[in-house]
Amino acid sequence: MKKKYFRINYTALLVFLISLNIIHSKDNSLVESNNWGYSYGDLLVQLDEWNASPWVTIDSIGASVQNRTLWELTLTDTIQSDDPKQTVYMHVRTHPNEIQSFWVANEFINQLLLDDPFSQEMRKKCTFYIVPMYNPDGVELGYPRQNANEIDIESNWSTEPMEPEPTALKQRFIDLMNSDQPIRIALNMHAAYNGNPRYFVYHHENGTSVEYSQLEQEFIGGVGSYYSTGIGPWDTFVSWTSGTPSQYPESWFWSNHGADVMALTYEDWNSDDAGNYDSTANALLHGINEYLMNHNISTILEESQFPKAFSLKTNYPNPFNSTTTIRYALYEKSMVSLSIFNSNGQLIETLVNANQGIGEYLIQWNSAQVPSGIYLYQLNTSTSTETRKMTILK
């Protein structure tokens, strides 16, 4: 017992000192071997710096196994703003030792915060969501690839139940894909051992479609054209030649949203000699811009293989005491039902049961007749169903 007591305190002290930046990762070989040169504490300091920018907000998408926050940075201009905006998602450092993926993301963010016309334009056109440290426990434990449960969360997407980190990220993807500004480009940032040149993991048409594989070639070629000496052509690394795997985040995007989302893994060079992160970030930004210009969001919404019948929003307020408002938008005329269920799945009340036309609907619900607790509201149309949670606190 005594031994355990001291061990816990030592760990807590170390985490505390790192968070204060008294022990800086780069100055301490013990810590460096534990976090591959950039710790969770380093990230907290950096998040504070980014947060000082008017273009940045910082939120949490959930927590890791050891309850570290999974931070998400939102980078956009909300004043000079296109409508709709194009959404770009980036998650970084699934594999803790692939630190180069973070340095690329770091440059990507820094360039987006510049005051030059290109960065201004990108902030106006796009919303960038970036999770800079998707596996903070692995980073702090010094694991090369795993989370605190020693699971590789990169390939955990077809497991039931999924680990907490992919569970949080998947929920975020679902929420954004159901919003009126769905993700257009999703980049999964890694670094490979023998990764010279840098490359994207290309998904062969056998695992996707002819149309999508051509879009991938266009995207990868577009990015590469801005850094042709550093980033390899689309066929540098070809995967999914014998079908569609189910375990990756890109598998989830492909199965649920097809060609609507350009979801790719990027592999930087996993070596101290890698460098040129600014050139890579610059190429990524210009490639993203070109792709989004060629594939306008309005056209995508019209031509989608997965047309959405509606979008259901989170009720407001939530949690609530007596009354809340449920908001949804219909994109096609349909028979609609909106019902409330308790956490045992028993029907409490049906709020809507009618034929409704295209438009936005606000439905109020008064919970006077039911006790505190978690409830579900479900929207059904003739082609789709969605259920969301809400909490009554009396």
Least Å distance between CB 164 and Zn ion? 19
- Nearest to 206, CA basis, from 259, 252, 243: 243
- Contacts with Zn ion in 186-205 (CB under 5 A)? 190
Q: Give the distance from CA 57 to its chain's centroid.
A: 15
Least Å distance between CB 189 and Zn ion? 9
Cα–Cα separations (whole angstroms), residue 305 to 312, 323, 334: 20, 38, 19
Least Å distance between CB 265 and Zn ion? 8
Cα separation, 87 vs 77, in Å, equals 13
Cα separation, 235 vs 223, in Å, equals 14
Cβ-based nearer residue to Zn ion, 85 or 190: 190
Least Å distance between CB 207 and Zn ion? 19
Q: Which residue is nearest to Zn ion (CB)?
A: 190
Cα separation, 30 vs 353, in Å, equals 63
CA dihedral (180, 315, 131, 195) positive or negative:
negative
* Stretch of 75-83, 123-131, 182-190, 352-360 contacting Zn ion, by CB under 5 A: 182-190
- What per-residue string of b and e applies to 66-96 under the rule 16 or more CB within 10 Å gives b? eebbbbbbebbbeeeeeeebbbbbbbbbbbb
Least Å distance between CB 101 and Zn ion? 8
Cβ-based nearer residue to Zn ion, 190 or 198: 190
Cβ-based nearer residue to Zn ion, 184 or 190: 190
Opening angle at CA 146, ends 144 and 150, nearest 5: 130
Cβ-based nearer residue to Zn ion, 95 or 203: 95
- Contacts with Zn ion in 95-154 (CB under 5 A)? 95, 98
Cβ-based nearer residue to Zn ion, 188 or 367: 188
Least Å distance between CB 346 and Zn ion? 45
Region for 150 from its dihedrals, namely left if φ exceeds 0, alpha if ψ lies in -120 to 50, beta otherwise: left
Q: Are 213 and 258 in contact (CB under 8 A)?
A: no
Least Å distance between CB 238 and Zn ion? 17
Cβ-based nearer residue to Zn ion, 190 or 308: 190
**Dmax of the chain from CA atoms?**
69
- Nearest to 248, CA basis, from 161, 155, 169: 155
CA dihedral (225, 231, 236, 241) positive or negative:
negative
Size of interface with Zn ion, in residues (CB under 5 A): 3
3-class DSSP assignment, residue 290: helix
3-class DSSP assignment, residue 126: strand
Cβ-based nearer residue to Zn ion, 41 or 249: 249
Least Å distance between CB 138 and Zn ion? 11
Other Cβ atoms less than 10 A from the Cβ of 40: the count is 20
Cβ-based nearer residue to Zn ion, 135 or 213: 135
Least Å distance between CB 59 and Zn ion? 25
- Contacts with Zn ion in 87-106 (CB under 5 A)? 95, 98
- What per-residue string of b and e applies to 173-187 under the rule 16 or more CB within 10 Å gives b? beebbeeeebbbbbb
Cβ-based nearer residue to Zn ion, 222 or 249: 249
Least Å distance between CB 95 and Zn ion? 4
Alpha helices by DSSP H, listed for the chain, are 2-19, 29-35, 40-51, 99-112, 117-125, 136-141, 164-177, 210-224, 249-257, 277-294, 297-303
Cβ-based nearer residue to Zn ion, 190 or 257: 190
Which residues would be at the binding site for Zn ion (CB under 5 A)? 95, 98, 190
